[in-house]
Structure 1
Amino acid sequence: MTCLLILCIAPRLYAQKKEALAEVLPVLENRFDIKFSYSDSDIVPYRVISPDLSEQLPLILSRIEAQTELVFKKLDKRYYTITRQRAEVCITLKDAVTGAPVTGATIEIRESNRATITDTLGNFHFPDIPGDAVLHIRSLGYKTTDIRAAEWMGTPCKTLLFHPEYQQLDEVVVRQFLTTGLQKKSDGSVTISTEKFGILPGLAEPDILQTIQALPGVESINETVSNINIRGGSHDQNLILWDGIKMYQSGHFFGLISAFNPYLTRDVSVIKNGASARYGDGVSGTVDMHSANTIDDHFSGGAGFNLIGIDAFARIPLHKKLAVHLSARRSATDFITSPTYNSYFERVFQDSKITDIHNQEVSENIEREEDFFFYDASLKVLYDPDEKHKIRLNATFFNNSLLYDESTVSTSESKQSSLDQQNLAFGGSLESEWSDRFTSALTGYYTKYNLNAANYTLFTDQRLILNNEVLETGVKLHTNYKISNALHWLNGYQFYEVGISNTDDINTPRFRRKHKDVIKNHAAFSEITYQSPSKNTYARAGVRVNYIGKFKKYITEPRLNIRQKLSKYLAAEFQGEMRSQVTNQVVDLQRDFLGVEKRRWILANNDDLPVTRSKQVSLGVNYNKRSFYAGLEGFYKTVEGITTSGQEFQNQDQYLRTSGSYTVKGLEFLVNKKTGKYSTWLSYTYALNDYEFEALEPSGFPNSLDIRHSVSFAGTYIMKNLKLALGLNWHSGKPYTRPQEGNEVTERETGNTINYHPSNSDRLPQFLRADLSSTYNFSISEGVDATLGIAILNIFNKTNTLDIYYRLEDDQSTEVQQVENLSLGITPNMTFRVFF
Structure 2
Amino acid sequence: MRKAHLKSLTFQLVILFLFFPGNNGFGQDTSQTKIPVIDLLQELEDKFEVKFSFVDADLEGLQISKPTVDGLQASIDHIIGKTPLQIERLNDRYYSVVLRNTISICGTVLDNFENNSIPGATVRILDSDKAAVTNIDGQFSFEEVPRTAVVQISHLGFKTYFISAEELSISAPCFEIALALSYQELEEVVVYKFLTDGLAKFSDGSIQMNTAEFGILPGLIEPDILQSAQSLPGIKSVDETVSDINIRGGTNDQNLILWDGIKMYQSGHFFGLISAFNPYLTDKITIIKNGTSSVYGDGVSGVMDMRTKNDIQNSTFGGAGFNLISGDMYGQIPLSENLALQFSGRRSLTDFLQTPTYTTFSEKAFQDSEVRTDNDFYFYDFTGKLLYDLNPYHKVRLSLIHINNDLDNITTSNDGDEVTESSLDQINISFGGSLESEWTDNFYTQANVYYTQYRLTAFSITESASRQLYQNNLVKESSAKLNTIYKVIPTLQWTNGYQFTETGIENITRLNQPFFESNIKGVIRSHSLYSEIQYETEDKNLFAQFGGRLNYISNINTFDQVLVEPRLSISYEFATNFKLEVLGEFKSQYTNQIIDLEQNFLGLEKRRWTLADENNLPVVKSKQGSLGLNYDENRLYVGVEAFYKNVTGINVNTQGFQNQNQFNGEIGEYLVKGVEFLINKKTNDYSAWFSYAYNDNNYTFNTISPPNFPNNLELEHSFTLAGNYNYNNFKVGIGLNYRSGKPYTKPDSNTPLDTSVFPIEINYESPNSSSLPEYFRADASATYDFNLNKKVKASVGASVLNFTDRKNVLNTYYRLNDDNKVETVQRISLGVTPNASFRISF
Alignment of 1:140-179 (within 5 A): 140-148=156-164, 151-153=168-170, 158-179=175-196
Aligned-partner SS, 1:574? strand
Q: Please say if residues 277 and 542 of structure 1, whose CA atoms lie closer than 8 Å, have aligned partners that are also in contact.
A: yes
Q: Please say if residues 418 and 462 of structure 2, whose CA atoms lie closer than 8 Å, have aligned partners that are also in contact.
A: no
Q: Deviations over 1:318-368 (max 9, x none)?
A: 11111111111100100000000000000001032226xxxxxxxxxxxx8
The corresponding residue for 2:268 is 251
The corresponding residue for 1:686 is 694
1:260 pairs with 2:274? no
The corresponding residue for 2:432 is 427
The corresponding residue for 1:209 is 226
1:279 pairs with 2:296? yes
Aligned-partner SS, 1:689? strand
Compared with structure 1, are the counterparts of its residues 588 and 748 closer, same or farther at alpha carbon in structure 2 (3 Å cutoff)? farther
The corresponding residue for 1:136 is 152
Aligned partner of 1:520 among 519, 522, 525: 525
Aligned partner of 2:534 among 516, 529, 536: 529
The corresponding residue for 2:682 is 674
Alignment of 1:432-511 (within 5 A): 432-456=437-461, 461-511=466-516
User: Aligned partner of 1:480: which letter?
Assistant: I
The corresponding residue for 1:344 is 361
User: Aligned partner of 2:112: which letter?
Assistant: A
Aligned partner of 1:393 among 395, 398, 408: 398
Alignment of 1:785-796 (within 5 A): 785-796=793-804
Aligned-partner SS, 1:587? strand
The corresponding residue for 1:41 is none
Whole-Å separation in 1 of the counterparts to 2:754 and 2:154: 79
The corresponding residue for 1:68 is 100
The corresponding residue for 1:704 is 712
1:180 pairs with 2:191? no
| Displacement after TM superposition at 1:148 (Å) | 4.9
Compared with structure 1, are the counterparts of its residues 67 and 349 closer, same or farther at alpha carbon in structure 2 (3 Å cutoff)? same
Whole-Å separation in 2 of the counterparts to 1:58 and 1:173: 75
User: Aligned partner of 2:301: which letter?
Assistant: S
User: Aligned partner of 1:63: which letter?
Assistant: S
1:834 pairs with 2:840? yes
The corresponding residue for 1:805 is 813
Compared with structure 1, are the counterparts of its residues 589 and 780 closer, same or farther at alpha carbon in structure 2 (3 Å cutoff)? closer
Aligned partner of 1:816 among 814, 818, 822: 822
Compared with structure 1, are the counterparts of its residues 137 and 15 closer, same or farther at alpha carbon in structure 2 (3 Å cutoff)? closer
| Displacement after TM superposition at 1:440 (Å) | 0.9
Q: Please say if residues 116 and 124 of structure 1, whose CA atoms lie closer than 8 Å, have aligned partners that are also in contact.
A: no
1:546 pairs with 2:551? yes
| Displacement after TM superposition at 1:501 (Å) | 1.1
Aligned-partner SS, 1:340? helix
1:607 pairs with 2:615? yes
Aligned partner of 1:736 among 731, 734, 744: 744
Whole-Å separation in 2 of the counterparts to 1:68 and 1:297: 29
| Displacement after TM superposition at 1:129 (Å) | 5.4
Whole-Å separation in 2 of the counterparts to 1:753 and 1:789: 51
The corresponding residue for 1:378 is 383
1:623 pairs with 2:623? no
Aligned-partner SS, 2:671? strand
Aligned-partner SS, 1:781? coil
Q: Please say if residues 295 and 322 of structure 1, whose CA atoms lie closer than 8 Å, have aligned partners that are also in contact.
A: yes
Aligned-partner SS, 2:627? strand
Q: Please say if residues 185 and 536 of structure 2, whose CA atoms lie closer than 8 Å, have aligned partners that are also in contact.
A: no
Identity of aligned residues (%): 47
User: Aligned partner of 1:205: which letter?
Assistant: E
Q: Please say if residues 406 and 458 of structure 1, whose CA atoms lie closer than 8 Å, have aligned partners that are also in contact.
A: no
Aligned-partner SS, 1:236? helix
| Displacement after TM superposition at 1:457 (Å) | 5.6
Compared with structure 1, are the counterparts of its residues 15 and 486 closer, same or farther at alpha carbon in structure 2 (3 Å cutoff)? closer
Q: Please say if residues 101 and 122 of structure 1, whose CA atoms lie closer than 8 Å, have aligned partners that are also in contact.
A: yes
The corresponding residue for 1:241 is 258
Unaligned segments of structure 1, at least 5 residues: 1-11, 20-47, 71-84, 356-367
1:646 pairs with 2:678? no
Compared with structure 1, are the counterparts of its residues 409 and 652 closer, same or farther at alpha carbon in structure 2 (3 Å cutoff)? closer
Whole-Å separation in 1 of the counterparts to 2:316 and 2:361: 36
Worse-superposed segment, 471-480 or 589-598 = 589-598
Whole-Å separation in 1 of the counterparts to 2:127 and 2:379: 47
Q: Please say if residues 419 and 462 of structure 2, whose CA atoms lie closer than 8 Å, have aligned partners that are also in contact.
A: no
User: Aligned partner of 1:710: which letter?
Assistant: S
| Displacement after TM superposition at 1:17 (Å) | 11
Paired residues, number: 762
| Displacement after TM superposition at 1:634 (Å) | 0.4
Whole-Å separation in 1 of the counterparts to 2:539 and 2:466: 74
Q: Please say if residues 169 and 531 of structure 1, whose CA atoms lie closer than 8 Å, have aligned partners that are also in contact.
A: no
The corresponding residue for 1:125 is 140
User: Aligned partner of 2:211: which letter?
Assistant: T
User: Aligned partner of 2:506: which letter?
Assistant: S
Q: Please say if residues 481 and 490 of structure 1, whose CA atoms lie closer than 8 Å, have aligned partners that are also in contact.
A: yes
Whole-Å separation in 1 of the counterparts to 2:277 and 2:795: 20
Whole-Å separation in 2 of the counterparts to 1:659 and 1:412: 45
Whole-Å separation in 1 of the counterparts to 2:467 and 2:644: 49
Q: Deviations over 1:517-545 (max 9, x none)?
A: 11111111111000111111100000101
Whole-Å separation in 2 of the counterparts to 1:58 and 1:582: 85
| Displacement after TM superposition at 1:742 (Å) | 3.3
Worse-superposed segment, 151-160 or 553-562 = 151-160
Whole-Å separation in 2 of the counterparts to 1:517 and 1:123: 63
Compared with structure 1, are the counterparts of its residues 646 and 408 closer, same or farther at alpha carbon in structure 2 (3 Å cutoff)? closer
Compared with structure 1, are the counterparts of its residues 154 and 213 closer, same or farther at alpha carbon in structure 2 (3 Å cutoff)? same
User: Aligned partner of 2:800: which letter?
Assistant: I
Aligned-partner SS, 2:292? coil
Unaligned segments of structure 2, at least 5 residues: 1-50, 59-84
Aligned-partner SS, 1:483? strand
Q: Please say if residues 162 and 392 of structure 2, whose CA atoms lie closer than 8 Å, have aligned partners that are also in contact.
A: no
Q: Please say if residues 54 and 96 of structure 2, whose CA atoms lie closer than 8 Å, have aligned partners that are also in contact.
A: no
1:229 pairs with 2:246? yes
Whole-Å separation in 2 of the counterparts to 1:458 and 1:764: 41
| Displacement after TM superposition at 1:135 (Å) | 3.9
Give me the TM-score of the superposition, normalised by structure 2.
0.87
